[in-house]
């Protein structure tokens, strides 16, 4: 059985996420997000949805980007 990389749970419905050519195994999206999701450069929250990327930094929302002095970004739905 596949074992979750984050929590070690042995789960028959585990799934794999391939990132940068490497396969990772998780039992839940929560664990996948914990292991793989980028962190907002302003507030430190895990970005599970569409983030905003600027100059190599990633933000969870336009508000955070603005807080770091990035002004030309807009939230994309
Ligand atoms: Zn897990
Ligand atoms: Zn943020």
DSSP 1-68: --B-TTT--B-TT-EEEEETTEEEEESSHHHHHHHH--B-TTT--B--S--EEETTEEESSHHHHHHT
Output the CA 30–ligand 2 centroid distance in Å: 18
CA 3–ligand 2 middle distance (angstroms): 31
Ligand 1 centroid–CA 8 distance in Å is: 6
Q: In the predicted model, is pLDDT for residue 76 greater than 80?
A: no
At 74 the pLDDT is: 65
pLDDT exceeds 80 at position 20: yes
Q: How far is the CA of 22 from the centre of ligand 2 (A)?
A: 27
For the cut 70, the answer to whether the pLDDT of residue 29 exceeds it is yes
pLDDT at 77 over 80: no
Q: How far apart are CA 53 and CA 59, in angstroms?
A: 6
Q: How many angstroms separate the CA atoms of 43 and 54, rounded?
A: 15
The yes-or-no verdict on residue 6 having pLDDT over 70 is yes
Mean pLDDT of 41-64: 92
Q: Could you tell me the distance, in angstroms and rounded to a whole number, from the CA of residue 67 to the centre of ligand 1?
A: 33
pLDDT score, position 49: 87
Nearest to 75 by CA among 53, 42, 55: 53
């Amino acid at each position: 059985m596949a074992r979750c990389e984050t929590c070690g749970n042995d789960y028959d419905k585990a799934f794999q996420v391939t990132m940068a050519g490497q396969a990772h195994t998780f039992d839940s999206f929560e664990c996948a997000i914990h292991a793989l999701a980028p962190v907002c450069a302003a507030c430190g929250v895990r970005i599970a949805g569409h983030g905003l990327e600027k100059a190599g930094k990633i933000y969870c929302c336009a508000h955070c980007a603005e807080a770091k002095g990035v002004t030309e970004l807009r939230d994309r739905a």
